[in-house]
Amino acid sequence: EHPLGLNDAARYMQIKVVLEATGLAEAEPILERLRSTTSPLLNNALLMMIQGAVRRGQMDDANKFLVEFRQREPGKNLLAAAELEHIRIQVSKERWTESVALYDKWLRDHRDNQLAAKVKLDRAWALNRSGQSQAAESAYKEIATSSDVSTETFAAKMWLADKAFNTVTNRIYAERLYQEVAGATNSPPQLRQRAQMMSGRAAVARQGYDDARKSFSSLLDDRSTTESVRAKAVFALGDLTLIDIGASTEDSLAKLTQSTNAFYSVIQIAPTNNLAARAWGKIGDGCLLISKAHPSFLLHAKKAYQNSLSVTTEIDVSTSSQAHMGLAYTIERLAVGKGSENELFNESLGHFLAVFYGQHLDASQKHNPYWCGQSGLAALRMYEQLKNYEQALKICAELEHLFP
């Protein structure tokens, strides 16, 4: 019996490796050998085949193995895991009502199972997808206030915080929940970092800029912060500095230097990607903002916007639109008092029109309504300055059509 046990274990591990590397078809012949020996590991192997099929989206195969698995009357824990796969099949078909009912049954049958907290979270998500928003919120609140603190507790708090933040119903409440997750040392690092970021954003929404700055700075001070979250924190701090510059001319040059250094640190990490393009655009915004008091910074703004547009990789619609708009405003201001005023006004107008008509987009990109509206109004104003009233009326008609 001993050698046979080793053979069974080896075949079981072989199925696991083959499932990960290739797929069901290659694993089935190995499964057949376990069937032929009526191995005690057959139930475990069948469960693994069900899970592999669901993971790969092969639901018919998953159902086939599930039928065989149930006929063998497996133990309670294996059955609980298999029933979860059955629910995932229903979820994949967006059968929300049936999925919720199955989650309810699973929780009744397996209330003491170690996966119960995760299943409750999945059930809350399914309730929300089914359109039962109030029931979903109640389910998330139940998980969030559970005395058994787990990863699911923090995930539920994040869902409740996001809902409050995104619906603008109670951002103070959202900020409190974000801080609870960010301050809990036993919450998962990924959730903790996201919560700290969102706590800062919630503070910005209520104009609590000092609190926001503390949240974003704490992410930069934490060595474990991921690069993507770190970049977001840099942008957020840079934006706060731009808000300070816009609100007061006091120490504006020092604040601009601080903001520019933050954005430039992002550019140095990856100078050819969309983040770099965004950062150059933000540097341009700062220089344009300060140029009211320091006109020489218009040239710095122009160069920054040009750098944003010269990034070689594909940049997103908002980033390219913002850079074209910033460049247009900069050129317009540079035109004031110059002998070639009309020539520069026409150059500025060209950038506004490029955004309005989506000339800066490729075939796969969809126009952003915000930038379309802003560029249309700016182009209308420029046509009036150039006394080209016929084209101004044409833009008016197009704007009325686009934004009835």
SS (H, E, C) 187-210: CCHHHHHHHHHHHHHHHHHCCCHH
**Confidence category of residue 1, pLDDT binned at 50, 70, 90:** very low
Query: What long-range pairs does 121-126 form, CB within 8 A, spacing at least 24?
Result: 121/152, 121/155, 121/156, 122/87, 124/156, 124/159, 126/91, 126/96, 126/99, 126/100
Give the model confidence (pLDDT) of 199-238 as tens digits.
999 999 999 999 999 999 999 999 999 988 988 999 999 8
pTM: 0.76
Q: Are 114 and 84 in contact (CB under 8 A)?
A: no
Would you say how long the chain is, in residues? 404
**Confidence category of residue 384, pLDDT binned at 50, 70, 90:** very high
Give the model confidence (pLDDT) of 292-331 as tens digits.
888 999 999 999 999 999 987 778 899 999 999 999 999 9
Give the model confidence (pLDDT) of 94-114 as tens digits.
999 999 999 999 999 998 999
DSSP designation for 94: T
The per-residue pLDDT of the chain, averaged, comes to 91
Angle separating helix axes 151-166 and 189-205, nearest 10 degrees? 20
Most confident of the following: 52-56, 73-77, 96-100? 96-100
Question: Is 167 buried (19+), middle (13-18) or exposed (0-12) by CB count in 10 A?
Answer: exposed
- Tokens linked to 298: 């218009």
Residue bearing tokens 């499964």: 31
Q: What is the dihedral of CA 229, 187, 172, 148, to 10 degrees?
A: 160
Q: Are 213 and 237 in contact (CB under 8 A)?
A: yes
**Confidence category of residue 5, pLDDT binned at 50, 70, 90:** confident
Residues 6 or more apart whose Cβ sits within 8 Å of residue 91: 99, 126
Whether the pLDDT of residue 370 is over 80: the answer is yes
Question: 38 or 78: whose pLDDT is higher?
Answer: 78
Q: Are 303 and 262 in contact (CB under 8 A)?
A: no
The HSE-up count of residue 224 (CA atoms within 13 Å, CB side) is: 7
